[in-house]
């Protein structure tokens, strides 16, 4: 499987921008820029809002990629029509996701061998 396909390429904003349009950096409690006098309170509030929106977009993309991987990997191991596929995937995910998607695939392949041995 090509795991690069499931990499989240969206930006995750770790900090809130505090750059005035003049280039100065303001403090979060400033109302006006100490260098140019611009109202920076609104700029700061906009930065907070923008950061929240970017985080939401990042999380939505992560969820979309998770779903895409789940569908693809279940197909890859031949379980896409198995009646217990969600439970099986859930276990593989729990046990393997700390090693990323390759870890989930490893766990899933072991479970597939196991359920085939049992004739399930």
- Is 24 among the residues that bind Zn ion (CB under 5 A)? yes
Tokens of 119: 């004739």
Distance CA 46, CA 68 (A): 33
- Is 25 among the residues that bind Zn ion (CB under 5 A)? no
Report yes or no: 77 and 108 within 8 Å, Cβ to Cβ. yes
- Is 94 among the residues that bind Zn ion (CB under 5 A)? no
Least Cβ distance, residue 28 to Zn ion (angstroms): 15
Kindly write out the interface string for residues 27-66 of this chain, putting x where it contacts Zn ion by CB under 5 A and - elsewhere: ------x-xx-x----------------------------
Residue 76 has a CB neighbour count (10 Å cut-off) of 15
**Residues at the site binding Zn ion, with contacts judged by CB under 5 A:** 20, 22, 24, 33, 35-36, 38
């Amino acid at each position: 499987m090509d795991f690069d396909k499931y990499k989240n390429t969206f930006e995750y904003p770790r900090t809130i921008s505090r750059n005035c349009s003049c280039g100065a950096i303001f403090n979060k409690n400033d109302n006006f820029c100490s260098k140019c006098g611009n109202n920076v309170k609104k700029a700061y509030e906009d930065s907070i809002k923008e950061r929240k929106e970017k985080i939401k977009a990042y999380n939505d993309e992560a969820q979309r990629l998770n779903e895409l991987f789940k569908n693809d990997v279940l197909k890859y191991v031949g379980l896409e029509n198995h009646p217990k596929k969600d439970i099986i995937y859930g276990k593989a995910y729990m046990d393997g996701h700390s090693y990323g998607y390759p870890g989930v695939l490893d766990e899933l392949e072991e479970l597939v061998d196991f359920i085939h041995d049992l004739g399930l």
